[in-house]
Chains A and B, each alone.
Chain A
Amino acid sequence: MVTVSPPEPGTDQPRKGVLGMPATAVRHVRRSAASTPGRLFVIGVALVLLSLLTGLAGAIGLQQKQSTVDNLITHREPVAAASQQIYRSLSDADATAASAFLAGGTMPEELRDRYDLDIAQAGANLTKAAADVAGVPEAEAQVDQLAQQLPVYTGLVETARAYNRQGFPAGAAYLREASGLMRAKLLPAAQELYSIDFRRLADAQAQARAFPWVTAALVLALLGALVATQLYLTRRTNRLLNIGLVVATGSVVLALAWGSASLLIASNDVADGHDSGTRQVELAVQARIVALKMRANETLTLVARGDGADYEAEWQDLTAELAGDGDNLLARAQELAADQETRDVLETARATVDDWLGVHQKVRELDDGGAYQQAVDLAIGDSPEGAAATFAELDGKLLEAINNGRTRFVTETSAAGNALTGLVPGVAVLAVVAAVGVTMGVRERLREYR
């Protein structure tokens, strides 16, 4: 609310309201600027303000950059990793439940442990992912779906177990319903959540690499103003140098050089972390998801016992993504991998995929040829040449590649954070030095006019 009291009648001079003040100030400045000392005073004040403003803007901008980079390591990447772990655990739980069913009798202990661990991991990672979705409605929708359906899924699996133990085929029906729920609702939600989180990570990385245009413009303007002032002073006073202004210019140049170098290094590091870390991880994660889907299809084909043509068809489609000619996921991950070790791990993974395809073909031949029990044994038995062992090896290799990529990401991104160390206080101090230099320099000249 503006309350300007009307001029009181009877007083000689109308009182100036608050609104009148800036106008008066402008008039004052204009009047003083007409004389050289006045103009010099105005220039000095303006330069001090500009230095402090630039310092403030630079410090805030750099502080934000620093926290964006830190946030990549402490938050964005771990959340993306958690959401891929949700998918992995859920998919593995589904395949393990199917394997346990095929094994017959009571559930073998190692399969039971594996299933329980999968569910526990999925739940734990889901809470981590859930803590992060505020303000991202599409991610929230996926987390909601997962949180609501996961207990339903486990309920169905337990019902299936109870019936299996009694020897009733209703168990198979409950397991089929559970697996259907997993494939129709849980896994698509987990996959969507994980792609959202990877997208958010990539966006944050792009943000960390973004060039600070506003700060850069301010710094250049300040530098220009300082140089112009010095040229003006030289012309007016015939003195070549003004120590204060030279110091101010020097500190601005130093801040500019330091800031540019650090930001350039940091931006490069973030980019490396993205390409040889995040991108490679993303491809290895996709490969792992495809492998998990294939494993589930392999076991479900046997559960269906001759009625599983759809599962086998899906297996065949997925094979191309993992082991297709040239442009498959593993080959692309291998290209992006930064170190020889990861490249070797992925090479082994590719060889393991070939082994697995061979074993799978044998499983199908046995099953199609009527040797169902042998097919089941080869698919889920614990022989080292069996499909279970081969798949476990592949999964292990892919996990290794993912972990290597994650380490690579953290190394590069921490380097980016380190490159920015000290920059914020440094820029602040340099700005103050510039302001002080301007004050000293201008005051010295002003003194000469007295």
Chain B
Amino acid sequence: MRLARGNRVALLSVALVVALSACASVPKPVDLATVDSVERPSPVGVEVNPAPPSTSAAPAPDCDPTASLRPPDPMPAPGAMPSGSTMREIQEAGKLVAGVDQNTYLFGFRDPTTNQLEGFDIDRARDIAEAIFGDRTKIQFKVMTSAGRIPALVNEEVDVVVRTFTATCQRWEEVNFSATYFMAGQRLLVERGSEVTTLDDLGGEKVCAAEASTSIKTIAEHEAEPVPVQVENWSDCLVMLQQGQVAAVSTDNVILAGMAAQDPNLTMVGPTFTPEPYGIGVPKGNEDMVGFVNGVLEQTIASGEWARSYDRWLGGIDGPRPAPPTPTYRD
């Protein structure tokens, strides 16, 4: 349609007036609710880049953290602990108090269908109860976080701690360890398809581990400077990885294997880059108990109980079953 010239001029001037008046105040759409970002839920007690624990004393003197105390020979029979011994006190109390975990799948976890604690560590604690009482059920579990282990032992709230507890020279200063009953090592857990293979690839990225674990220390001290994210329980790391709040979880291979077993989209990558010898923690002063626990470990390794327990929980998780660790003693 063609407009006459006069009309066109008129139209143009109307448009101009409209445009000018619009310049004065451009009407804006009204937003009743503006939400620009979402704060994701996070596990209780999570801390990004936590302050490193104050190194109270001088670094521990060099030692062999795997070397423990020799078991008594012969071992006392169940129900007949020598009088005056720590084991006798436990026998008279009627139950062994064991510090364990309920969140680490395969090692110490609560089976949600039965409400029972199960796992490789739980089996080790029950072995000790059986050796003292001849009864695997005379045991009271006290669940604790990684950070709760040493205080529980120092305050003698528990008789033993069987909870993926790495023996280190630093920790030997405060508690006793049994001989190594499992040899783990730190690795990385990432989403399947991630290109990360080592901590070197994770500079500036968030990497999760439990508070007061050896793993969080390794992450914090790594030269690539990944950002350590500290949680209370290992399973919180799994949650954060699934929710995309951390790039990776780094801790002992068997703990990671437990997470990967719960979610097939996760995979362990890279080499094992630290040795983590697991020992059973016993309060300082209860040296007789340390020897006794070592005796129990030797017995269960000899009887095949250790291997059966391994096959039940860890069979096929991370290659074929290794030989049980050979105990080393200080004398």
Seen from chain A, the residues whose Cβ lies within 8 Å of a Cβ on chain B are 101-105, 144, 148-149, 152-153, 156, 163-174, 176-181, 184, 304-307, 369-370, 372-373, 376
Contacts and interface: CB of A to CB of B under 8 A. Distances in A.
A181 B41 contact: yes
B54 interface: no
Interface stretch (B4-12, B84-92, B104-112, B288-296): B104-112
Interface in B93-121: 95, 97, 102-105, 109-115, 117
Nearest to B38: A148
Given A173-B236, A177-B43, A181-B41, A168 B262 contact: yes
A306 B141 contact: yes
Given A177-B236, A178-B41, 5 more contacts: A177-B239, A180-B44, A305-B102, A305-B110, A305-B141
Interface size class on chain B is: 35 or more
Nearest to B144: A307
Contacts of B43: 173, 176-177, 180
A163 to B, nearest CB: 7
A169 B112 contact: yes
Most B CB contacts (10 A, CB to CB) among A167, A173, A370, A373 go to A173
B112 A168 contact: yes
A144 B34 CA distance: 11
Contact of B102 (A104, A163, A169, A179): A169
Nearest to A371: B140
Q: Kindly name the residue among B41, B109, B145, B259 whose own CB sees the greatest number of chain A CB atoms within 10 A.
A: B41
Given A173-B235, A180-B44, A148 B141 contact: no
7 contacts: A169-B103, A169-B109, A169-B110, A177-B43, A306-B141, A307-B142, A307-B145
A103 B114 CA distance: 9
B143 interface: yes
Given A172-B235, A307-B143, A307-B144, A177 B42 contact: yes
A227 B22 CA distance: 63
A178 B243 CA distance: 13
The 3 closest A-B pairs by CB, nearest first: A370-B140, A104-B115, A173-B235
Contacts of B259: 170
B51 interface: no
A158 to B, nearest CB: 13
B323 interface: no
Contacts of A167: 111-113
A49 to B, nearest CB: 44
Max chain B Cβ within 10 angstroms of own Cβ: one of A180, A304, A307: A307
Interface string B41-78: 11110000000000000000000000000000000000
Given A104-B113, A105-B114, A172-B102, A304 B143 contact: yes
Interface in B113-142: 113-115, 117, 139-142
Contact of A376 (B97, B115, B144, B148): B115
A370 B97 CA distance: 8
B24 interface: no
A365 B319 CA distance: 45
B143 A171 contact: no
A397 to B, nearest CB: 31
Interface in B288-320: none
Nearest to A178: B41
Contacts of B41: 149, 152-153, 156, 177-178, 180-181
Contacts of B236: 173, 176-177
Contacts of B38: 148
A419 B262 CA distance: 69
A169, A184, A307, A372: residue with the most chain B Cβ atoms closer than 10 Å = A169
B238 interface: yes
Contacts of B97: 370
B113 A105 contact: yes
B233 interface: yes
B35 interface: yes
B239 A174 contact: yes
A169 B112 CA distance: 7
Contacts of A163: 112, 262
Most B CB within 10 A of own CB, among A101, A104, A144, A148? A104
A95 to B, nearest CB: 16
A179 B41 CA distance: 10
B263 interface: yes
Contacts of B104: 169
Contacts of A166: 262
A11 to B, nearest CB: 41
A174 B148 CA distance: 21
Contact of B238 (A173, A178, A184, A304): A173
Contacts of B115: 102-105, 373, 376
Nearest to A179: B44
A163 B44 CA distance: 19
Contacts of A104: 112-115
Given A156-B41, A305-B143, A170 B262 contact: yes
Contacts of B117: 305
Contacts of A144: 33
A105 B110 CA distance: 11
A306 B112 contact: no
B239 A169 contact: no
Interface centre among A105, A165, A370, A376 (most CB of B within 10 A): A370
A163 B117 CA distance: 16
A377 to B, nearest CB: 10
B76 to A, nearest CB: 23
Nearest to B261: A168
Contacts of A102: 115
B102 A170 contact: no
A144 B110 CA distance: 36
